[in-house]
Structure 1
Amino acid sequence: MTVDAIVFEHVTFAYGAPPSGATGVRGIGGHSADSGPAVHRPVLDDVSFTLPEGEFCLLVGPTGAGKSTLLKAVNGLVPRFTGGDMHGRVTVAGRDVRGATPADLADVVGYVGQDPLAGFVTDEVELELAYTAEQLGVAPAAMRKRVTEIVDLLGLADVRDRALAQLSSGQRQRVAIGAALVAGPTALVLDEPTSALDPTAADEVLSALHRLVHDLGITVLLAEHRLERVVQYADSALLLDGGRCTAGPLGEILARSPVAPPVVGLGRLAGWPGPPVTIREARRHAAPLRKILAERAGTVARGTDIPSAAQAGPPLLEARGLTVDYPGVRAVAGVDLAAARGERIALMGRNGSGKSSLLWALQGTGKRSGGTVAIGGADPAARRPGERRTLAGLVPADAADLLYAETVAAECAGADEDGRAPKGTCAKILDDLVEGVDPGVHPRDLSEGQRLALALAVTLTAAPPLLLLDEPTRGLDYPGKAALAARLGTLAGAGHCVVVSTHDVEFCAEFASRVVVLSDGEVVADGPARQITAASPMFAPQVEKILPGWMTVAEVEAALESGDD
């Protein structure tokens, strides 16, 4: 008899009310809990679904749809620690979540958040894996057996004695999953587990989850914006949009979802039945379309085919022999890099390849052990911070790290002052990037896309010719990433040189004219985006894998429309 692992029965939830017994806790809307904020519109609106034992379910929906809220409701984080007003019933393995703490539910549901490092409570891998078992009072002999089994299951044997800080992002993600599994839960809930991972590390994590489902019968509920990575592993899907939730087979849900991977968009465009949700399925339908596109390849201007640095003019950025060393590690090893105005460069490579260290060294704030950097002939490291911002602006992986003020308006005013720009400059840039941002709201209460736009506006206020972004697509859905690619393309067209560090191959296909690939701190490939990505199974976008020579659904659509003229 099949056991229902996760059941939602008419669950409605809205933020606003304080958590039980809490005082003075800042709410999601930026209010203090003891100030009596009004309850907001429902994030979850009469949500009902059932996930059986041993199901791999993908939670999809636009940015801000409430996916993280739904996941946190499974183990009681919502509303116990977030506040808010909740109605309905959630059960896991037959146990009612209401009134229980996440610790009470650890033996039936494991939760892994977006940032595993923030959830660790110890310093070493084996200690972290054993911590939950210790809290549950598991006998030492049973604890050692359980930890060893998890180490073997998740492929952590080589790192079990290492410090967590020394692990790669993929290894940390597997440790976080292992820590959640120690208690032997029925269900595992994960919030964007691959958002910080390169394609290879993401595949390792998802393969481990796939084994848990098929070998141990664990139910996995996973939210992820990079759907192209996950669909091949999922059995079913939940679509959350406008507070309402629809459950069903993966293909059926993705066919009606406002956010879907490129393979689904291509299937819709070509009229393929289903539409297909995996590369393998799509390739079986693609032969007629390949023939049509081959006849029209020379008649269509493709989005990322813009001049290279050599064609674009004299270099704006020149780095020679750039080296960055940390204790025991050479993060950047003698990199030479030149870039011109108008270029759109994607900096790619595995986790730990040196991408972020290179960006910070180019900007001038980061450590430089050797080599030279010149932006328009000036060394940014030799300038004061205020002057440095006029040469190169860097938006870090967490855009909120640039935001310090209490309101959007104050943040914009501070950017105007720091950038010595006329009053209202930053606010105007922000409005050009994204409309409708409330100037009175706290920056940390904005959506991911709005927060990124604000950080970008703050950076652009100083008008730097070189713009550097580190993993800007985390937390963005497909429409959000397309909008970001278009905005960055506009900036490049206006004369900025834009360099983006990213693991997101689909964003790269939309944005980049040139790709630079790092490995162990060295440049191993540098050339036109279409050429570099097509030659790599790791970095090739979905459309290229189905229709060689084509990068995006938009390119294919333009080619098909050209034949209708």
Structure 2
Amino acid sequence: MIRFEQVEMVYPGAMAPALRGVDLELPEGELTLLVGPSGVGKSTLLGAVCGLVPHFTGGTLTGRVTVAGRDTRTHRPRELADVVGFVGQDPLAHFVTGTVEDELAYGMESLGVPPPTMRRRVEETLDLLGLAELRDRALGDLSGGQQQRVAIGSVLTTHPRVLVLDEPTSALDPPAAEEVLAVLQRLVHDLGTTVLLAEHRLERVVQYADRVLLLPGGGRAPVLGDPAAVLAGSPVRPPVVELGRLAGWSPLPLSVRDARRRAAGLRERLGEAPVPPARRTPDTSPVPAVSLRSVGVRRGRRPVLHEVELEVAAGEAVALMGRNGAGKSTLLRTLVGMHRATSGRVAVDGIDPARTAPRELLRHVGLVPQDPRDLLYAETVGGECEAADRDAGAAPGTCRALVDRLLPGIDGGTHPRDLSEGQRLVLALAVVLAAAPPLLLLDEPTRGLDYAAKARLVAVVRRLTGEGHAVVLATHDVELAAELADRVVVMAEGEVVADGPTGEVVTASPAFAPQVAKILAPAGWLTVPQVAHALAPEPRPGARPPAPGDEPGDEPGDGSGDGSGDGSGDGSGGAVDDAPGRGTGGAA
């Protein structure tokens, strides 16, 4: 169905090809999972299938890509639309209408689908993706995860023979992600749809894959094969595979169910070893980093937050979790003054963010939003870093050093729009961290990051909390919460419904439990490093057990790729109006 013949792709001005030596075939009616470190060209490969590369992105593509017999070099994206459906990392870049229902119908209108068929498919898709209650909502009023479901639905309604998805579950809560993946599995098994899917959160997807296509980076040839065999030698692996490697299981398990069937011996080896307690950093500040008292927020006529009570101490890492639309992003934006509380009191580092000028607020709090482009306005990566250092009053080179630490290999002369989603996120994070604010807010900080890059992010955040900075992150990444958070706060319908130590909260619900916790239940293990430490024959003198936030001692690969961007930007510069206020997430 999809054939690559000695494909190489070079973007204008790039020092190295984004793709090289791709020669393989993906058969009809299978789900192929595309994996690899951040920035190795996964989005480029996906774009080549639907014709966006090189017709939209520019650059030189050599070799040949054919889909259902059509050569993408001679068929532009609109001439492939009846065969290939594509959903990129940025849902907003795909939307062309104003409401959910209109967006679901637009693709069918373009293809001339009869109105009765259109109506039926819209209703089916609304039910499949849990969007029925949102059918009349404006797309701009939806949460990031809701927008992602609409983008996926707008492609599903056209019934394409090939479905290409770039991180389709990255902004979805765990139950919503399972629903979307179940729909994809039905399309593959029942309708013979060919699905090519790139995803960094492999723990969600790998069990559904018929094949895995690995882009290892560094100029090495792609590897296509059986999921367990490919992941055994992959630089990026989900926790279930890492645990299997640690326990010496062969073949390696790909699902929690498979791992639990083999875990009896591992549980015996762990025996009565104590589970490390949640990591706590003593609070040395008399003023809480965050204090919310009976806070309510409305957006237009719609209430979004109700009577929220929350306090975060200096040196504490708190994860906000909950389904899409629960109010997590609204809470973070309220903490930087982008939304004004309609009731209650908001205090950040002792000040009211809604009544503080952006330049002054930058010294107290910084927000990395879901869309990193909201913070990026310079022409180059180097320009962004220089501006960030000036705005923060930091030493020259501070921001650039953070970029290199989180994701090495990003060229300083690259335009931010030509970076991959994960690379843009790292740049935006470095821009905010350059100011070292007492309170750091992260909204879905691991979208587009591979496991090694995520481990480095955990190390940076842990260093900040050790120095007394408070961190609040809104995330659907249960593995990140298990590794990093001291506390987990669960939100639903704008209210706090649970607040407690990470181990207690995440294991109380199957939706939020990490893979290790599910495999080794009812014991309280959360991460692979915890298990590895317990199994170590002779711990180092003076070594302490790793806490849930501790970084693995042996990272799975360097995650740096070849440093080339995917070049799949949408062409927007992502400018903001108030440059001095960009470290707080932009002006209200």
TM-score > 0.5, shorter chain as reference:
yes
1:60-459 correspondence to structure 2 within 5 Å: 60-141=35-116, 143-144=118-119, 147=122, 159-160=134-135, 162-165=137-140, 169=144, 172-242=147-217, 244-297=221-274, 301=276, 304-307=278-281, 315-427=288-400, 430=403, 438-446=411-419, 448-459=421-432
Query: In structure 1, how many angstroms separate the alpha carbons of the residues matched to 2:366 and 2:201?
Result: 27
* Cα pair distance change 1:331/1:563, threshold 3 Å: same
Compare relative contact order (CA 8 Å, sep 6+) and give the higher one, 1 or 2.
Answer: 2
Q: CA deviation at 1:495?
A: 1.0
* Cα pair distance change 1:169/1:443, threshold 3 Å: closer
Q: Is the 8 A contact 1:380 1:391 kept in 2?
A: no
Q: What residue in structure 2 maps to residue 33 of structure 1?
A: none
* Cα pair distance change 1:435/1:331, threshold 3 Å: same
Q: CA deviation at 1:200?
A: 1.2
Query: In structure 1, how many angstroms separate the alpha carbons of the residues matched to 2:231 and 2:150?
Result: 30
Range with greater deviation from structure 2 (280-289 or 46-55): 46-55
Deviations 1:240-291 (A, max 9, x none): 1225221111211222211111000000111011110100100111111112
Query: In structure 2, how many angstroms separate the alpha carbons of the residues matched to 1:390 and 1:167?
Result: 30
* Cα pair distance change 1:359/1:147, threshold 3 Å: closer
Q: Is the 8 A contact 1:236 1:248 kept in 2?
A: yes
Q: Is the 8 A contact 1:449 1:480 kept in 2?
A: no
Q: CA deviation at 1:183?
A: 4.0
Q: What residue in structure 1 maps to residue 4 of structure 2?
A: 8
Q: Is the 8 A contact 2:349 2:439 kept in 1?
A: no
What secondary structure is seen at the aligned counterpart in 2 of 1:212?
A: helix
Query: In structure 2, how many angstroms separate the alpha carbons of the residues matched to 1:417 and 1:149?
Result: 52
Query: In structure 2, how many angstroms separate the alpha carbons of the residues matched to 1:50 and 1:461?
Result: 45
Query: In structure 1, how many angstroms separate the alpha carbons of the residues matched to 2:411 and 2:161?
Result: 42
* Cα pair distance change 1:170/1:400, threshold 3 Å: closer
Deviations 1:73-121 (A, max 9, x none): 1121111111222222222222222210111111211111122232122
Structure 2 residue identity aligned to 1:41: A
Q: Is the 8 A contact 2:487 2:500 kept in 1?
A: yes
Query: In structure 1, how many angstroms separate the alpha carbons of the residues matched to 2:43 and 2:169?
Result: 15
Q: CA deviation at 1:155?
A: 5.9
Range with greater deviation from structure 2 (548-557 or 48-57): 48-57
Q: CA deviation at 1:15?
A: 1.6
Deviations 1:142-199 (A, max 9, x none): 5455555655665655555554445565554444334324444211111111111111
CA root-mean-square deviation? 2.6
* Cα pair distance change 1:448/1:170, threshold 3 Å: closer
Q: Rg bigger for which structure? A: 1
Query: In structure 1, how many angstroms separate the alpha carbons of the residues matched to 2:3 and 2:211?
Result: 15
What secondary structure is seen at the aligned counterpart in 1 of 2:45?
A: helix
Range with greater deviation from structure 2 (400-409 or 346-355): 400-409
What secondary structure is seen at the aligned counterpart in 2 of 1:418?
A: helix
Query: In structure 2, how many angstroms separate the alpha carbons of the residues matched to 1:467 and 1:122?
Result: 35
- Number of residue-to-residue matches in the alignment: 536
Range with greater deviation from structure 2 (62-71 or 425-434): 425-434
Q: Is the 8 A contact 2:39 2:423 kept in 1?
A: no
Query: In structure 1, how many angstroms separate the alpha carbons of the residues matched to 2:448 and 2:227?
Result: 21
Specify every segment of 5 or more residues in structure 1 that has no aligned partner in the other structure, as ranges.
Answer: 17-36
Query: In structure 2, how many angstroms separate the alpha carbons of the residues matched to 1:437 and 1:68?
Result: 16
The one of 491, 504, 521 equivalent to 1:518 is 491
Q: CA deviation at 1:551?
A: 0.9
Structure 2 residue identity aligned to 1:284: R
Q: Is the 8 A contact 1:308 1:514 kept in 2?
A: no
Deviations 1:297-348 (A, max 9, x none): 26xx46x432576x99763322211211112322111111112111111111
Q: CA deviation at 1:47?
A: 1.2
What secondary structure is seen at the aligned counterpart in 2 of 1:68?
A: helix
Query: In structure 2, how many angstroms separate the alpha carbons of the residues matched to 1:207 and 1:169?
Result: 20
* Cα pair distance change 1:425/1:181, threshold 3 Å: closer
Query: In structure 1, how many angstroms separate the alpha carbons of the residues matched to 2:269 and 2:491?
Result: 36
* Cα pair distance change 1:159/1:341, threshold 3 Å: closer
Query: In structure 1, how many angstroms separate the alpha carbons of the residues matched to 2:338 and 2:128?
Result: 41
Query: In structure 2, how many angstroms separate the alpha carbons of the residues matched to 1:165 and 1:462?
Result: 30
* Cα pair distance change 1:52/1:407, threshold 3 Å: closer
Q: Is the 8 A contact 1:343 1:513 kept in 2?
A: yes
Structure 2 residue identity aligned to 1:272: W
Query: In structure 2, how many angstroms separate the alpha carbons of the residues matched to 1:70 and 1:246?
Result: 14
What secondary structure is seen at the aligned counterpart in 1 of 2:509?
A: coil
Q: Is the 8 A contact 1:331 1:354 kept in 2?
A: yes
Query: In structure 1, how many angstroms separate the alpha carbons of the residues matched to 2:446 and 2:181?
Result: 20
Query: In structure 2, how many angstroms separate the alpha carbons of the residues matched to 1:96 and 1:425?
Result: 47
Query: In structure 2, how many angstroms separate the alpha carbons of the residues matched to 1:428 and 1:182?
Result: 45
Q: CA deviation at 1:441?
A: 3.9
Q: What residue in structure 1 maps to residue 546 of structure 2?
A: none
Structure 2 residue identity aligned to 1:523: V
What secondary structure is seen at the aligned counterpart in 2 of 1:517?
A: strand
* Cα pair distance change 1:562/1:526, threshold 3 Å: farther
Query: In structure 1, how many angstroms separate the alpha carbons of the residues matched to 2:117 and 2:368?
Result: 47
Query: In structure 1, how many angstroms separate the alpha carbons of the residues matched to 2:152 and 2:395?
Result: 50
What secondary structure is seen at the aligned counterpart in 2 of 1:325?
A: strand
Query: In structure 1, how many angstroms separate the alpha carbons of the residues matched to 2:154 and 2:9?
Result: 29
Q: What residue in structure 2 maps to residue 505 of structure 1?
A: 478
